[in-house]
Each structure stands twice: as structure tokens, then as C-alpha cells.
Structure 1
């Protein structure tokens, strides 16, 4: 069998590797060069993910802050485009990285509404109630209106 021909890494490949390695210096050098799409997706654990989503998996505050400083980053881009997608915010909550979640929530453009119907249950099942007071004011009125019906349905 012929071994595969090694390919040169793209800037996006290097970006993802720097985040996985928690290498702040490499990340900042890549970002400074300005030749990378910070919203690109790559397979991580067989799931198409953004670099910010990966930063929620491999938490490092300096990495997250560097990524959030890029004006074009989309903090609401889910890890994969289908019904069960989750955002970097929801993933950081699920993983218990509440300091990362707090930084994401503090941005004016972070949507705190669940991307999927299952996320609210997942967050609750991970016992992350401490984040609820921070999320509640940012939820859409439509979702807030659903909460009493969800609670009454689950307690019946």
C-alpha cells in the first residue's frame, strides 16, 4: 500500500491545531497575519466544528479572548449544520467551562437562545444551573414564555 502524500497545512489547519494545543503565541501569529477564515469548519471528533467551538472544548481563556478579538468571528455559528447543532456557548456550559461561557454571554452579539430543542435539557442535565441567571435576561421573549409550560410538563 502506498502511503498518502503529505499535504501542506492550510492556515485554517494551523489555526485549529494552535487552539487544540492551547498555543496562544501560534494562534496570535496566525490571526495577526490575517490570512485565515476564523469561521471555517474542520472535522473534530468526526463533527464539523468552528475554531471557537473547539476553544470551548479545549478551554483556555487567552485563546478564547484572542478569537473574540477578531471582528469577523461568528460566535453563534453552530458546530455542525443540522438539527442537533450546538453553539460554542452551549458547549462551554455543557463542559462546565462557565468562565468561557461568561465571556461569550458578555458579548452583545451572542445569542443565548438554544439552537435545538434538546439544548435546554442537556444544559440542565449537566447541573449548570449557576449559568441560568446570566442567560435568562438574554433569552428571547418567545422562549421565556415557553418556560412555564416546560416546567409544568416536566413536573407532571
Structure 2
């Protein structure tokens, strides 16, 4: 197994993505305190490392989490998910690994996220920060993506995940 570098998505990059994406919880109906704990008894490895604080959500990407996703905006989460569609090695969608009826969520990985090559159907552990109101042009520029904004336009305005660490699921 590869050792993954971890550099928190903080400071200028996260501030720019959050500010330029128009983050705001005013439209949320669920707060982080009201969000549900994972109910599926699946072990999700701590890919952030022992020195990192526990995430408010560490569990399977399922329908309950998908419903609560806006409540976690700006906080770190760790998810066990399955890759649905790959746009590029750093831009892909995830869905439930259990085959549940969960719509895909866009994941944009930072350069420091690791050397995982996501493939459709591959189980993955994603340590990420949900961000509200995706803006394809801003995100593509701020995170130096190798895809154009037109390839990501369908996700504009939706909550997405900025992945800081990616690892194959056990």
C-alpha cells in the first residue's frame, strides 16, 4: 500500500473555493448537529491519520448521508463509496457501494489526494470536505483541473466534495 501525503485543504485554496462557490447554509434544512450518524455497521479506515481529529461523519455513502450532505458543508467527512463515472483521474462521481438508490455526487480531488486511479465500479475511501454551489469555471481554475468547465457544467449549483485523501477501499 502506498503512503499518501496529506496536506489539509485549508488556507487560500479552500477559502477561495468556498468563497467563490457562494457557500452558505441558509438554504439547508438540516444542521450538522441534526445530521444522522452512519447506521450501516461498515468499517471505514482512518485514511487521514491518527493526528487528525475524528470526522463528524465516517461511514458509507448512503441515502441518509446523501440527504444530509448540505449539513456537512465545510466540515471533513470520510466516506466509503463506489466510483460511478470518471471525468478525469481527479474528477469523478461516487455513489453507494451497497447498490442503494443514491444519486451520484461529484468529487474533485486535490493534487495531494493520492495516486489513486478511479475506475467505474471501484470501491474507494474518500476523505473530503463538502462544498455548496459548484461553479465549474472557478473550481477548474482554483484546483488546476485538467478538464474544462464545459465538461463539468451539469454539476453547477450542486453540493460537491473536495477530496483531500483518496484510498482504495479494503
Per the normalisation by structure 2, the TM-score is 0.26
Larger Rg: 1
The structure with more strand, counted as a fraction of residues:
2
Q: Which structure's relative contact order is higher, taking Cα pairs within 8 Å and 6+ residues apart? A: 2
Per the normalisation by structure 1, the TM-score is 0.27
The structure with more helix, counted as a fraction of residues:
1
